């Protein structure tokens, strides 16, 4: 059976950002070795792992949302069924959309200010701050899109009472 294109794209997206995270960890490990064994370090070796980690997390926040891979408290929601469950799910989705939209807007404003004021992160080479910070509006915009998708799924879903014996 052939995997749908969007699922393959999502899997590749997750694999790519997993690789970016792995590279960040590798740079961090190399920095520790250089500092401990060779007694030298480059200031960018402190920053690059942080930047790569943040980019990976921000770019994955949206795609993992529909799969339920985020941290959540489900004990109240799991005991609901029917209309109360649907209302709870819709409220959760609306809160997620609002959160994503506010952070996206704030990220755009901040990134544009970094660009307009020509802010740089001064290290052994000067790195434009907007380049590092633009992961926030991009990632949170994707997060918001996936939250809207999740809302559509929730509205279409019927939440019938679960069979007690099925969960035991």
Q: What is the pTM of this model?
A: 0.85
pLDDT per residue, tens digit, the chain (168 aa), is: 567 998 899 999 999 999 999 999 999 999 999 999 998 888 888 899 999 999 999 999 999 988 877 767 677 777 888 888 899 889 999 999 999 999 999 999 999 999 999 999 988 889 999 999 999 999 999 999 999 999 999 999 888 776 444 444
User: CA-to-CA distance for 133 and 131, rounded, in angstroms?
Assistant: 6
User: CA-to-CA distance for 64 and 113, rounded, in angstroms?
Assistant: 30
Half-sphere exposure of 74 (CA within 13 A, CB side): 7
Q: Where are the beta strands (DSSP E) in the chain?
A: 120-122, 126-128
Backbone angles phi, psi at 120, to 5 degrees: -130, 155
User: CA-to-CA distance for 23 and 41, rounded, in angstroms?
Assistant: 17
User: CA-to-CA distance for 149 and 154, rounded, in angstroms?
Assistant: 9
First to last CA, the chain: 32
């Amino acid at each position: 059976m052939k995997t749908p294109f969007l699922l393959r794209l999502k899997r590749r997206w997750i694999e790519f950002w997993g690789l970016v995270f792995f590279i960040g960890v590798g740079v961090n490990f190399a920095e520790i070795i250089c500092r401990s064994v060779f007694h030298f370090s480059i200031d960018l070796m402190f920053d690059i792992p942080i930047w790569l980690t943040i980019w990976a997390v921000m770019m994955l926040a949206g795609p993992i949302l529909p799969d339920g891979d985020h941290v959540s408290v489900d004990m109240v929601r799991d005991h609901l069924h029917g209309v109360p469950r649907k209302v709870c799910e819709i409220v959760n989705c609306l809160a997620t959309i609002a959160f994503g939209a506010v952070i996206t807007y704030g990220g755009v404003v901040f990134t544009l200010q970094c660009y307009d004021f020509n802010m740089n992160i001064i290290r052994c080479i000067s790195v434009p701050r907007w380049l590092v910070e633009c992961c926030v509006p991009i990632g949170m915009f994707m997060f918001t899109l996936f939250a809207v998708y999740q809302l559509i799924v929730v509205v279409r879903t019927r939440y019938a009472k679960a069979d007690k014996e099925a969960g035991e």
